[in-house]
C-alpha cells in the first residue's frame, strides 16, 4: 500500500439520541488500529468528509443512500442480523446489500449479501489505551456484578437468579456511556454478559471493552454463540442452567480472582493487527475506485440548514457563523454576500451557492441571535427559488424561552413577519416577498399547542412573486419610485 487515504469515522446520531454514544467505543477502536498503521483518522458526528474514506457507524438509525454517490462510504455493521436478530429497516438492509461493508461477525453477512468473501471481518479485541494506570485489586472492588446493556425479560430473570445467590447486581438507572460508564466498570469484580436476541451472537464489542479496562467478564454461553478464539480463555463461560452454581460456589473466591487475572493477561496478548490491515487496504482500494467514478462538478445544494453543532443535518448544506460548530461552511448571512458563493470545504467538497436555486432553508432557533435580521432574510430570499420555502422556529415573545439564552438580541411574536410579507417595500424588495404558509405555536416539547402554552413559534414562509398591484403600491411608497436608470443615448 503506497498511499493511505484519510479515514473519517462518522457516528450517526439522530438529534438528542443518547444511545449513539454507544458507538464511541467501536469508533475509538478503529481509530487506534488505523492510526498505528500510519493512517490519518478523524472522528465526527453526522459529518461525512468529501475527500476521505468514511467508515459509518449506526447507519441503521437512518442514512440517505443517495449520499454514497458523492461520498466514499464503508458501513460498519454492528447489528445482529438474520434469523432471530435485530429488527432493522428494509432500507438499512438494502443499503448494506448495495454498499461496501465491514462486519464484526461473519454470521451476519449472509443476511445482506451473497458475496460473503467481499466483506472484511474486524474483531474487537484488546484495546491497550484503556488499560488503567492504577487498578483496584479485584477482591477490594465495591461492585460485585455490573450489568450493562438494554433490558428484556430474559436478562432480568437471569440477573434475579444471580442475586438469589447473595451476589449484588448493579444496574444503571439511565443510559451511561464513555469514560463515565468506564469508571463503574473499573470498580466491578465482574461484568455479566447475557444475550439479548435469539440469534445469540456474542457481544464482543462490550466484552472486549470491559476486559481491556481490566475487569473480568462472566458470560452466558449458548449453543449458537460463536465467539472469536481470543475470548475462549479470556471469559468465564457459564451455561444458563449453571448460573446459581457459579455465583454461589466459584465467584469472588481466591480461585476466581486467580483465574480472572490469568484470563485478563491472556486477552491482552491477542492482537488483531492483520484483520485491520486488511480492512485498511480494502478502504484504500475501494476509496480510490469510488473517487474516480463520483461526480466532479461542484455541488449545488437545494436544502440549507442555518446552524450546525448539535443541529447539523447530513445531506443538507449546513451554514454557521462559528467554526467550532463544524458547519459545512462558515458564512454570515446576516452580512452582505456577493453571489455566487464558491467554496471547497472538507465536508462538502466543491460547492456553489447560486441565488434562486434553493428549495428549502431551515432555521432552528437562529433568528433571535442575528443582529441584522433584515439582511439575513434578504439573503435567504435571494437564495430561494420562487416557490421555495423558509422554515423557521423561534422562541415566542411571551414565553420564558424568549430570553433564557444570553445571546438573544430580540424576541419575536406573531407580527414579526409583516415586513417580510406585507411591508416588503420597506426593505427595498420589489419583485419577490415572503408569504406565510403555515403558523403554529409550540410547547416546550415542540408539540403544537394553543397560544397560552406557547414556548416557541413555527413559521413556514414561501418565496412568491409580487403582484402587479403590490409592485404599484411599492412604487407609491418608495422614495425613488423603484424605477430603472434610463441609459442616455
CA nearest to 436, candidates 420, 423, 412: 420
CA nearest to 246, candidates 161, 372, 125: 161
The b-or-e profile of 384-405 (16+ CB within 10 A means b, else e) is beeebbbbbbbbbbebebbeee
DSSP 8-state secondary structure symbol assigned to residue 251: T
Q: Are strands 349-353 and 303-306 parallel, antiparallel or unpaired?
A: unpaired
Phi, psi of 225 (to 5 degrees): -65, 135
Q: Is 446 left (phi over 0), alpha (psi -120 to 50) or beta?
A: left
What residues of the chain score a pLDDT lower than 50? Answer: 1
Residues ≥6 apart with Cβ < 8 Å to 489: none
pLDDT score recorded for residue 482: 83
The b-or-e profile of 15-24 (16+ CB within 10 A means b, else e) is eeeeebbbbb
pTM exceeds 0.95: no
pLDDT score recorded for residue 2: 53
CA nearest to 320, candidates 356, 347, 354, 358: 347
For residues 227 and 208, the answer to whether their CB atoms sit within 8 Å is no
pLDDT score recorded for residue 225: 74
CA nearest to 33, candidates 203, 183, 190, 212: 212
The position carrying cell 409580487 is 466
DSSP 8-state secondary structure symbol assigned to residue 102: E
Cell numbers that stand for 146 in this block: 455490573
Q: Within 13 A of 201's CA, how many CA atoms are on the CB side?
A: 21
The position carrying cell 406565510 is 436
Cell numbers that stand for 383 in this block: 437564495
pLDDT score recorded for residue 244: 96
- DSSP code per residue over 199-219: T----HHHHHHHHHTT--EEE
Distances (CA, A) of 433 to 160, 373, 425, 466, 470: 66, 15, 9, 6, 10
Alpha-helix residue ranges (DSSP H) falling in 409-482: 418-421, 468-477
Q: Are strands 432-442 and 456-465 parallel, antiparallel or unpaired?
A: antiparallel
pLDDT score recorded for residue 478: 86
Helix (H/G/I), strand (E/B), else coil: 452: helix
DSSP 8-state secondary structure symbol assigned to residue 316: B
- Residue 447 class from Cβ within 10 Å (0-12 exposed, 13-18 middle, 19+ buried)? exposed
Helix (H/G/I), strand (E/B), else coil: 52: coil
pLDDT score recorded for residue 75: 98
* DSSP-assigned beta bridge partners for residue 340: none
For residues 99 and 68, the answer to whether their CB atoms sit within 8 Å is yes
Distances (CA, A) of 396 to 97, 307, 360, 419, 467: 46, 19, 23, 18, 31
**E strands present in 275-383:** 303-306, 317-320, 329-330, 341-345, 349-353, 358-364
Q: Are strands 432-442 and 217-220 parallel, antiparallel or unpaired?
A: unpaired
Is the bond leading into 278 cis (omega within 30 degrees of zero)? no
Helix (H/G/I), strand (E/B), else coil: 142: coil
Amino acid at each position: 500500500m503506497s498511499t493511505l487515504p484519510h479515514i473519517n469515522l462518522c457516528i450517526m446520531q439522530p438529534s438528542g439520541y443518547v444511545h449513539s454514544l454507544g458507538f464511541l467505543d467501536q469508533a475509538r477502536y478503529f481509530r487506534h488500529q488505523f492510526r498505528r498503521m500510519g493512517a490519518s483518522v478523524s472522528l465526527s458526528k453526522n459529518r461525512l468528509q468529501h475527500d476521505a474514506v468514511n467508515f459509518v457507524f449506526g447507519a441503521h438509525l437512518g442514512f440517505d443512500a443517495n449520499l454514497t454517490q458523492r461520498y466514499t462510504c464503508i458501513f460498519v455493521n454492528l447489528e445482529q442480523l438474520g434469523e432471530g436478530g435485530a429488527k432493522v429497516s428494509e432500507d438499512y438492509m438494502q443499503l448494506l446489500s448495495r454498499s461496501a461493508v465491514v462486519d464484526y461477525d461473519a454470521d451476519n453477512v449472509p443476511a445482506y449479501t451473497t458475496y460473503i468473501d467481499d466483506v472484511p471481518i474486524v474483531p474487537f479485541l484488546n484495546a491497550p489505551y484503556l488499560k488503567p494506570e492504577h487498578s483496584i485489586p479485584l477482591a477490594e472492588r465495591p461492585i460485585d456484578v455490573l450489568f450493562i446493556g438494554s433490558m428484556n425479560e430474559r436478562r432480568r430473570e437471569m440477573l434475579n437468579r444471580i442475586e438469589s445467590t447473595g451476589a449484588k447486581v448493579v444496574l444503571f438507572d439511565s443510559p451511561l456511556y464513555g469514560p463515565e460508564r468506564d469508571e463503574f466498570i473499573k470498580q466491578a469484580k465482574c461484568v455479566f454478559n447475557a444475550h439479548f436476541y435469539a440469534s445469540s451472537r456474542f457481544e464482543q464489542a462490550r466484552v472486549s471493552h470491559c476486559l481491556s479496562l481490566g475487569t473480568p467478564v462472566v458470560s452466558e454461553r449458548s449453543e449458537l454463540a460463536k465467539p472469536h478464539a481470543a475470548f475462549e480463555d479470556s471469559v468465564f463461560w457459564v451455561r444458563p442452567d449453571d448460573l446459581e452454581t457459579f455465583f454461589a460456589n466459584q465467584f469472588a473466591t481466591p480461585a476466581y480472582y486467580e483465574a480472572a487475572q490469568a484470563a485478563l493477561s491472556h486477552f491482552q496478548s491477542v492482537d488483531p493487527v492483520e484483520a485491520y490491515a486488511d480492512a485498511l487496504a480494502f478502504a484504500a482500494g475501494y476509496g480510490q475506485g469510488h473517487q474516480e467514478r463520483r461526480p466532479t462538478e461542484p455541488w449545488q445544494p437545494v436544502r440549507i440548514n442555518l446552524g450546525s453543532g448539535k443541529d447539523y443535518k447530513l445531506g443538507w448544506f449546513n451554514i454557521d457563523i462559528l467554526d467550532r460548530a463544524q458547519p459545512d461552511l462558515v458564512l454570515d448571512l446576516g452580512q452582505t454576500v456577493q453571489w455566487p458563493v464558491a467554496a471547497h470545504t472538507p465536508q462538502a467538497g466543491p460547492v456553489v451557492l447560486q441565488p434562486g436555486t434553493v428549495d428549502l432553508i431551515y432555521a432552528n432557533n437562529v433568528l433571535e441571535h442575528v443582529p441584522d435580521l433584515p439582511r439575513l432574510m434578504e439573503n435567504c430570499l435571494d437564495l430561494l427559488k420562487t416557490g421555495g420555502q423558509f422554515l423557521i422556529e423561534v422562541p415566542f415573545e411571551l414565553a420564558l424561552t424568549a430570553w433564557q439564552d444570553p445571546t438573544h438580541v430580540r424576541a419575536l411574536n406573531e407580527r414579526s413577519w409583516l415586513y417580510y410579507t406585507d411591508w416588503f417595500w420597506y426593505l427595498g424588495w420589489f419583485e419577490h416577498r415572503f408569504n406565510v404558509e403555515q403558523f403554529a405555536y409550540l410547547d416546550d416539547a415542540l408539540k403544537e399547542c394553543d397560544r397560552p402554552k406557547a414556548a416557541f413559534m413555527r413559521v413556514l414562509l414561501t418565496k412568491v412573486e409580487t403582484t402587479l398591484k403590490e409592485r404599484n403600491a411599492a412604487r407609491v411608497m418608495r422614495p425613488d419610485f423603484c424605477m430603472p436608470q434610463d441609459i442616455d443615448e
